[in-house]
Protein backbone atom coordinates (compact mmCIF):
# COMPACT_ATOMS: atom_id res chain seq x y z
CA UNK A 1 0.00 0.00 0.00
CA UNK A 2 1.28 3.44 -0.92
CA UNK A 3 2.10 5.62 2.07
CA UNK A 4 1.06 8.83 0.26
CA UNK A 5 -1.91 9.76 -1.90
CA UNK A 6 -3.00 12.66 -4.05
CA UNK A 7 -6.21 14.01 -2.59
CA UNK A 8 -9.02 13.94 -5.12
CA UNK A 9 -8.42 15.99 -8.28
CA UNK A 10 -6.02 18.33 -6.51
CA UNK A 11 -2.26 18.58 -6.31
CA UNK A 12 -2.39 17.99 -2.53
CA UNK A 13 -0.12 15.05 -1.76
CA UNK A 14 -0.69 13.76 1.77
CA UNK A 15 0.08 10.81 3.98
CA UNK A 16 -2.68 8.24 4.43
CA UNK A 17 -3.13 9.22 8.07
CA UNK A 18 -4.25 12.71 9.07
CA UNK A 19 -5.06 14.28 12.41
CA UNK A 20 -8.40 15.83 13.29
CA UNK A 21 -7.74 18.54 15.86
CA UNK A 22 -11.21 19.35 17.18
CA UNK A 23 -10.62 17.70 20.57
CA UNK A 24 -7.64 19.94 21.22
CA UNK A 25 -9.91 22.89 21.96
CA UNK A 26 -13.32 21.62 23.08
CA UNK A 27 -16.03 18.95 23.01
CA UNK A 28 -14.10 16.19 24.82
CA UNK A 29 -13.46 17.77 28.19
CA UNK A 30 -10.58 19.98 29.26
CA UNK A 31 -7.55 20.51 27.08
CA UNK A 32 -3.94 21.44 27.61
CA UNK A 33 -2.31 23.67 24.99
CA UNK A 34 1.23 22.52 25.79
CA UNK A 35 0.26 18.85 25.39
CA UNK A 36 -1.64 19.67 22.21
CA UNK A 37 1.38 21.42 20.68
CA UNK A 38 3.61 18.47 21.64
CA UNK A 39 1.10 16.11 20.02
CA UNK A 40 0.99 18.19 16.83
CA UNK A 41 4.78 18.35 16.63
CA UNK A 42 5.15 14.60 17.32
CA UNK A 43 2.56 13.77 14.66
CA UNK A 44 4.42 15.90 12.12
CA UNK A 45 7.75 14.32 13.10
CA UNK A 46 6.20 10.86 12.59
CA UNK A 47 5.06 11.75 9.08
CA UNK A 48 1.49 12.88 9.65
CA UNK A 49 1.17 15.93 7.45
CA UNK A 50 -2.59 16.46 7.05
CA UNK A 51 -4.27 18.43 9.85
CA UNK A 52 -8.00 19.17 10.00
CA UNK A 53 -9.62 21.98 11.98
CA UNK A 54 -12.56 24.39 11.67
CA UNK A 55 -13.26 27.98 12.55
CA UNK A 56 -16.01 26.84 14.94
CA UNK A 57 -13.73 24.62 17.06
CA UNK A 58 -13.19 26.62 20.21
CA UNK A 59 -14.67 29.61 18.36
CA UNK A 60 -11.42 30.03 16.44
CA UNK A 61 -9.08 28.89 19.24
CA UNK A 62 -8.29 25.63 17.45
CA UNK A 63 -7.10 27.44 14.33
CA UNK A 64 -5.02 29.77 16.51
CA UNK A 65 -3.47 26.73 18.21
CA UNK A 66 -2.45 25.24 14.86
CA UNK A 67 -1.14 28.60 13.69
CA UNK A 68 1.14 28.87 16.72
CA UNK A 69 2.17 25.22 16.69
CA UNK A 70 3.14 25.17 13.02
CA UNK A 71 4.77 28.57 12.78
CA UNK A 72 7.99 28.02 10.84
CA UNK A 73 6.87 24.52 9.79
CA UNK A 74 4.08 25.46 7.38
CA UNK A 75 5.91 24.09 4.31
CA UNK A 76 5.84 20.59 5.84
CA UNK A 77 2.08 20.14 6.11
CA UNK A 78 -1.36 20.42 4.56
CA UNK A 79 -3.97 22.42 6.48
CA UNK A 80 -7.69 21.84 6.10
CA UNK A 81 -10.25 24.05 7.78
CA UNK A 82 -13.96 24.61 7.54
CA UNK A 83 -16.51 27.45 7.63
CA UNK A 84 -20.32 27.94 7.73
CA UNK A 85 -21.23 27.13 11.36
CA UNK A 86 -21.56 30.43 13.22
CA UNK A 87 -20.87 30.70 16.93
CA UNK A 88 -21.62 33.49 19.37
CA UNK A 89 -19.27 35.12 21.89
CA UNK A 90 -20.02 32.43 24.49
CA UNK A 91 -19.66 29.59 21.99
CA UNK A 92 -23.36 29.18 21.38
CA UNK A 93 -24.42 27.95 17.96
CA UNK A 94 -26.06 30.69 15.90
CA UNK A 95 -26.83 28.82 12.70
CA UNK A 96 -25.32 28.36 9.26
CA UNK A 97 -24.05 30.98 6.85
CA UNK A 98 -23.08 30.27 3.26
CA UNK A 99 -23.49 33.80 1.91
CA UNK A 100 -20.60 34.91 -0.31
CA UNK A 101 -19.66 37.87 1.89
CA UNK A 102 -19.57 35.62 4.96
CA UNK A 103 -17.41 33.03 3.19
CA UNK A 104 -14.85 35.70 2.31
CA UNK A 105 -14.87 37.12 5.84
CA UNK A 106 -14.52 33.63 7.37
CA UNK A 107 -11.64 32.83 5.02
CA UNK A 108 -9.74 36.00 5.94
CA UNK A 109 -10.20 35.31 9.65
CA UNK A 110 -9.03 31.70 9.26
CA UNK A 111 -5.95 32.79 7.30
CA UNK A 112 -5.06 35.18 10.10
CA UNK A 113 -5.65 32.66 12.91
CA UNK A 114 -3.72 29.92 11.07
CA UNK A 115 -0.88 32.40 10.34
CA UNK A 116 -0.77 31.38 6.69
CA UNK A 117 -1.29 32.94 3.30
CA UNK A 118 -3.22 29.97 1.89
CA UNK A 119 -5.65 27.34 3.15
CA UNK A 120 -4.82 24.06 1.44
CA UNK A 121 -8.30 22.53 1.70
CA UNK A 122 -11.28 24.74 2.57
CA UNK A 123 -14.48 22.90 3.46
CA UNK A 124 -18.02 24.10 3.77
CA UNK A 125 -18.77 22.51 7.17
CA UNK A 126 -22.52 22.33 6.64
CA UNK A 127 -24.69 23.44 3.72
CA UNK A 128 -26.69 26.61 4.36
CA UNK A 129 -30.14 25.70 2.98
CA UNK A 130 -30.85 29.36 2.22
CA UNK A 131 -27.96 29.70 -0.27
CA UNK A 132 -27.62 27.83 -3.56
CA UNK A 133 -24.63 25.48 -3.65
CA UNK A 134 -23.64 27.07 -6.96
CA UNK A 135 -23.25 30.45 -5.23
CA UNK A 136 -21.27 28.93 -2.37
CA UNK A 137 -18.88 27.03 -4.63
CA UNK A 138 -18.64 30.00 -6.99
CA UNK A 139 -17.32 32.10 -4.10
CA UNK A 140 -14.92 29.34 -3.08
CA UNK A 141 -13.69 29.11 -6.69
CA UNK A 142 -12.93 32.84 -6.60
CA UNK A 143 -10.84 32.27 -3.46
CA UNK A 144 -8.94 29.52 -5.32
CA UNK A 145 -8.27 31.85 -8.25
CA UNK A 146 -7.09 34.54 -5.80
CA UNK A 147 -4.60 32.09 -4.25
CA UNK A 148 -6.18 32.14 -0.80
CA UNK A 149 -7.43 28.55 -1.08
CA UNK A 150 -5.80 25.65 -2.91
CA UNK A 151 -8.68 23.14 -3.00
CA UNK A 152 -12.36 22.96 -2.05
CA UNK A 153 -14.15 20.42 0.10
CA UNK A 154 -17.71 19.86 1.23
CA UNK A 155 -19.08 18.20 4.34
CA UNK A 156 -22.37 16.41 4.79
CA UNK A 157 -23.94 16.95 1.36
CA UNK A 158 -26.10 14.61 -0.69
CA UNK A 159 -25.00 13.25 -4.10
CA UNK A 160 -27.10 15.71 -6.12
CA UNK A 161 -25.63 18.70 -4.24
CA UNK A 162 -22.14 17.29 -4.77
CA UNK A 163 -22.75 16.94 -8.53
CA UNK A 164 -24.10 20.49 -8.79
CA UNK A 165 -21.13 21.83 -6.79
CA UNK A 166 -18.59 19.92 -8.89
CA UNK A 167 -20.13 21.38 -12.05
CA UNK A 168 -19.09 24.85 -10.79
CA UNK A 169 -15.58 23.93 -9.61
CA UNK A 170 -13.80 20.62 -8.91
CA UNK A 171 -14.52 19.35 -5.40
CA UNK A 172 -11.43 17.73 -3.92
CA UNK A 173 -12.87 16.11 -0.81
CA UNK A 174 -16.18 15.10 0.73
CA UNK A 175 -16.26 14.75 4.50
CA UNK A 176 -18.92 12.74 6.31
CA UNK A 177 -19.29 12.54 10.05
Rounded Cα distance, 86 and 127, in Å: 12
32: Cβ contacts below 8 Å, ≥ 6 apart = none
Is the distance from CB of 91 to CB of 121 less than 8 angstroms?
Answer: no
Tell me the C-alpha to C-alpha distance, in Å, between residue 33 and each of 19, 21, 26, 36, 66.
Answer: 16, 12, 11, 5, 10
Please state the pTM of the whole predicted model. 0.94
pLDDT of residue 1: 47
pLDDT score of 2: 62
In a structure prediction context, what are the per-residue pLDDT tens digits for the chain, which is 177 residues long? Answer: 468 999 998 999 999 999 999 988 877 767 788 999 999 999 999 999 999 999 999 889 999 999 999 999 999 999 999 999 999 888 899 999 999 999 999 999 999 999 999 999 999 999 999 999 999 999 999 999 999 999 999 999 999 999 999 999 999 999 997
Amino acid 27: pLDDT: 74
Nearest-angstrom CA–CA distance, 152 and 155? 10
Residue 35 neighbours by CB distance under 10 Å: 10
Where in the sequence numbering do the catalytic residues fall? 57
Residues with Cβ < 8 Å from 19, sequence gap 6 or more?
A: 40, 43, 48, 50, 51, 52
Query: Please, what are the domains in the chain?
Result: 4-175 (3.20.20.100)
Are the beta carbons of 19 and 40 closer than 8 angstroms?
yes
Structure confidence at residue 31 (pLDDT): 79
Amino acid sequence: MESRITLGHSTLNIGRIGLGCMGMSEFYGSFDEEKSVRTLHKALDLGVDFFDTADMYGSGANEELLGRAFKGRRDRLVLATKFAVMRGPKGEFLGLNGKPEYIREACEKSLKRLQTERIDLYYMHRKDPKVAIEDIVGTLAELVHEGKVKAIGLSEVDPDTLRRAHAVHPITALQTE
